[in-house]
Structure 1
Amino acid sequence: MVAGGLALVLLLGAAYAAGDRFAGEPATAHAPGPTASGDPHLDTEDGHDHGAHEGTEGEPAVYDPGAAPGPQFRARDATLTPTPPGREHRITLTVRESVREVAPGVRQRTWTYNDMLPGPTLRGRVGDRFVVTLVNEGSTGHSVDFHASQVAPNAQMRSIKPGEQLTYTFTAQRAGAFMYHCGSAPAVHHIGNGMFGAIIIDPPRLAPVDQEFVLVQSELALGPQDGLARLGKLYRAEYDAVTFNGYAGQYRFAPLTATTGSRTRIWVVDAGPSAPTSFHVVGTVFDTVYKEGAYVLRPDDTSGGAQSLDLAPAQGGFVEFAFPAPGEYPMLTHRFADATRGASGLFQVAPR
């Protein structure tokens, strides 16, 4: 545990340090997921049966909140890059399958865009045109649904078979922190296996800040080691771990860094597929809150402050603040059961 982990132990309870799965609740056996049955809710549009390959054989992997990652661990860089120049953005999203570590000692077979979990963060301005080429190198049908777009779903969001590709073109007409994801049936399985990401469309006259971060929260419904997520658990919203940027608890082991007095903006997108969040940074008060395309609080409102950013699945926004002093500041969802399951981390703040 890194320095500052004591603060998280105090917040999340002794079970975090001891490694209990649910803050002291004993592990329970899960019923096996659905099997191949011809049920259209289990099949993709190209006829691939998810019940047959979701990994119902063997016991699901177990997330231990007290475990530490191995020497090969590398945290996802949460820094948000500046808005790219130009008004047209051409992007290729390639669907691939791979086994990766999603929590200390826990490996799952994931479906991803560009070998990233979550997929790459896209960014632009209102009025920008996006030309996205989707390439399917997976073993089943896949698609992409940009929540920032206004298009006919049966055309640009349609599933494509392995080996196929399509071009998805849209102009961003509204600002916000949006989700994108695979919408092929059953969408809950495609999202649960890693097919999601964030697309940020800057609000007009977005104020400059010293540093920006992006956190995408999502749940893990673990299947067997090296297997796919359990579809039955996803249908029942029975998840084992919760992540920021695809790996449970990663910023406890590789804290984000900042300096005192620096203006900080954190974008948050809740990718779900089912759990809400209440994002909070301990020891701070947010003076700016932007949620679902609108400012809830602005810094010129000197009489008010906010303690959290609440988001339902498929919602997004940002908060702004400045760290008041050097030290270690926990960040987490204030839905504490999910913070215990991995949706927590640290900021290490140095003097300016």
Structure 2
Amino acid sequence: MADPGAAFVARDATAPPVPPGRLHRRELHVREVVREVAPGVRQRLWTFDGTVPGPVLRGRVGDTFEITLVNDGTLDHGIDFHAGAVAPDEVMRPIDPGQRLTYRFTATRAGIWMYHCSTMPMLHHIGNGMYGAVIVDPPDLPRVDREYVLVQSELYLGPDGEPGDLAAMQAERPDAVVFNGYPAQYAHRPLPARAGERVRVWLLDAGPNRDSSFHIVGAQFDTVYREGHWENRPTDPGGAQVLSLTPAGGGFVETVFPAAGHYPFVSHAMVDAERGARGLFEVR
């Protein structure tokens, strides 16, 4: 929980735009890398494309994704896209180091969907970094001034430079709970916004074990979209204070910051906020 220092660069939380076309082809490379996961703490992570979370993919209802998984690691790995309804037998099978697999699906339902390694024990593979998000825009999604993506997950640390501790994952004893892979990174590098702007925050709870209860201190949500369902709209008289998600659940919230200031955001499971599931919006 220390200050990561002046040279620290936070993960860019800006949501990617919807790419052109209706067919989205991409290679995802399994890479086993040693990364700093907290100040002075290194872990050997199993990743998609070398980052935790993996790349955020995006499309629209009716788009087709053709993802080629390339295993550049030393263990067998696979992939499971919740955004597609397909028989698991072939596309979710583990592949050995050096092998490739093409996974094709059509996005028929909107939401923010998890993808993750499909190799057993999935607890260990997800807990050691193999997860990411696919955003499938609802057909009537309005434009906003800013869009961010936050993926909540847990860290279960093994010895320095080694993979995460499976026994700690099984006992549900996280060392940290984080947004986008690093504890409290947006407390040190706040997310920018301006007063009066409409800000959308996409949330995915990658787990593998902890629920999320996303809250912005000093703000209210006039829009809540959870698991493919609109729960609040700006024209509704009611509002929301949290977006609650269970592992693999996703959605988004929108707010308009009323004035300049610093607005903390947390998982309101306060033990997890203190473990690192917190950040800051800097509103000018």
Aligned pair 1:336/2:258, yes or no? no
Structure 1 gap segments, 5+ residues each: 1-64
**Letter of the structure 2 residue corresponding to residue 312 of structure 1:** T
What is the Cα deviation at residue 332 of structure 1?
0.6
Give the secondary-structure state (helix, strand or coil) at the position aligned to 1:252.
helix
1:83-136 Cα shifts (integer Å, max 9, x gaps): 111100001100001110111111101011111110000000000000000000
**Within 2, Cα distance between the matches of 1:197 and 1:255?**
22
User: Which of 244, 249, 253 lines up with 1:310 in the alignment?
Assistant: 244
Q: Please name the residue that 1:115 is paired with.
A: 50
**Within 2, Cα distance between the matches of 1:82 and 1:72?**
28
**Within 1, Cα distance between the matches of 2:49 and 2:162?**
20
1:26-45 Cα shifts (integer Å, max 9, x gaps): xxxxxxxxxxxxxxxxxxxx
What is the Cα deviation at residue 236 of structure 1?
1.4
User: Which of 273, 277, 287 lines up with 2:212 in the alignment?
Assistant: 277
**Within 2, Cα distance between the matches of 1:140 and 1:72?**
33
What is the Cα deviation at residue 254 of structure 1?
0.5
Aligned pair 1:255/2:190, yes or no? yes
**Within 2, Cα distance between the matches of 1:333 and 1:222?**
21
Q: Please name the residue that 1:323 is paired with.
A: 257
User: Which of 130, 148, 155 lines up with 2:65 in the alignment?
Assistant: 130
**Letter of the structure 2 residue corresponding to residue 183 of structure 1:** S
**Within 1, Cα distance between the matches of 2:72 and 2:92?**
17
**Letter of the structure 1 residue corresponding to residue 178 of structure 2:** T
Aligned pair 1:198/2:130, yes or no? no
Give the secondary-structure state (helix, strand or coil) at the position aligned to 2:271.
helix
**Letter of the structure 1 residue corresponding to residue 130 of structure 2:** M
Structure 2 gap segments, 5+ residues each: none
What is the Cα deviation at residue 179 of structure 1?
0.5
What is the Cα deviation at residue 268 of structure 1?
0.2
Aligned pair 1:245/2:180, yes or no? yes
Q: TM-score, normalised by structure 1?
A: 0.80
Give the root-mean-square deviation of aligned CA atoms.
0.7
**Larger fraction in strand:** 2
Aligned pair 1:349/2:283, yes or no? yes
Give the secondary-structure state (helix, strand or coil) at the position aligned to 1:339.
helix
Q: Please name the residue that 1:43 is paired with.
A: none
Rg larger for:
1
CA contact (8 A) 1:103 1:249 kept: no
Q: TM-score, normalised by structure 2?
A: 0.99
What is the Cα deviation at residue 145 of structure 1?
0.3
**Within 2, Cα distance between the matches of 1:238 and 1:124?**
36
Q: Please name the residue that 2:202 is paired with.
A: 267
**Within 2, Cα distance between the matches of 1:75 and 1:285?**
26
Aligned pair 1:166/2:101, yes or no? yes
User: Which of 85, 96, 100 lines up with 2:35 in the alignment?
Assistant: 100
Q: Please name the residue that 1:220 is paired with.
A: 155
**Within 1, Cα distance between the matches of 2:110 and 2:5?**
40
**Letter of the structure 2 residue corresponding to residue 330 of structure 1:** P
Q: Please name the residue that 2:76 is paired with.
A: 141
**Within 2, Cα distance between the matches of 1:279 and 1:96?**
30
For these two proteins, the number of residue pairs brought into alignment is: 284
